[in-house]
A and B are shown apart, each in its own frame.
Chain A
Amino acid sequence: TQLLEQSPQFLSIQEGENLTVYCNSSSVFSSLQWYRQEPGEGPVLLVTVVTGGEVKKLKRLTFQFGDARKDSSLHITAAQPGDTGLYLCAGARRNTGNQFYFGTGTSLTVIP
């Protein structure tokens, strides 16, 4: 079983639409990251959130860490074809030997 569950698993939207991806867990994390992965490449970090309730913005992307540091969301405003890719959340926990726990992933397709 995955420690982090992402929803939805697949998302296909038209250019200009808004979307939200959710990352949920019953466990507490010291920090949570969002990565984006393109075909044939490894994941690349988008953002790290550390404090419960923290909100970070990266251009049209808004990331939020839940108050209890168990969940997070990624909101994209006015999606563009260049946003197409696999989005992965990952929780970091030091008390289990410096591990990253990855979510199941959300595959986003933005149609021009």
Chain B
Amino acid sequence: NAGVTQTPKFQVLKTGQSMTLQCAQDMNHNSMYWYRQDPGMGLRLIYYSASEGTTDKGEVPNGYNVSRLNKREFSLRLESAAPSQTSVYFCASSEFSTVNTEAFFGQGTRLTVV
């Protein structure tokens, strides 16, 4: 099983450019998430989708937009990249319907904005 697949793995953008990070999961999970990880700050939630057709802001949504295209896919868009958005981005999915819930993560996208 592929699990959670993110593309691209690496990206360099110039300030002001736009891009979309893609994420797909093959585990039929209801919930999907986008996090960013910066040194010393753990994982911070950008946006999440509790179920297909819904999206909500997380802790750090400014400068980002998301689309839950279908149950499998959840994309993250940077409309006008800024150096402060240099980070490692992780997509995750979860069933979140049982007591022993778990988040499954992709391998991450390392984004540098120059």
Contacts and interface: CB of A to CB of B under 8 A. Distances in A.
Contacts of B45: 99-102
Given A33-B103, A48-B101, A98 B48 contact: yes
A33 B102 CA distance: 8
Interface in A98-112: 98-105
A100 B94 contact: yes
A44 interface: yes
B96 A98 contact: yes
Contacts of B104: 45
A48 B48 contact: no
A30 B94 CA distance: 15
Interface residues of A, number: 28
Interface stretch (A13-21, A35-43, A65-73): A35-43
A98 B4 CA distance: 18
Contacts of A31: 99-101
B53 interface: no
A102 B94 CA distance: 15
Contact of A50 (B30, B90, B100, B108): B100
Contact of A42 (B41, B56, B106): B106
Interface of A: 2, 6, 9, 30-31, 33, 35, 40-45, 48, 50, 88, 90, 92, 94, 97-105
Given A9-B40, A43-B103, 5 more contacts: A42-B105, A42-B107, A43-B43, A97-B48, A105-B40
- Give me the 8 closest cross-chain CB pairs, A-B, nearest first: A42-B105, A102-B43, A98-B96, A104-B42, A98-B50, A105-B42, A98-B31, A97-B50
Interface of B: 4, 30-31, 33, 35, 40-45, 48, 50, 56, 58, 90, 92, 94, 96, 99-108
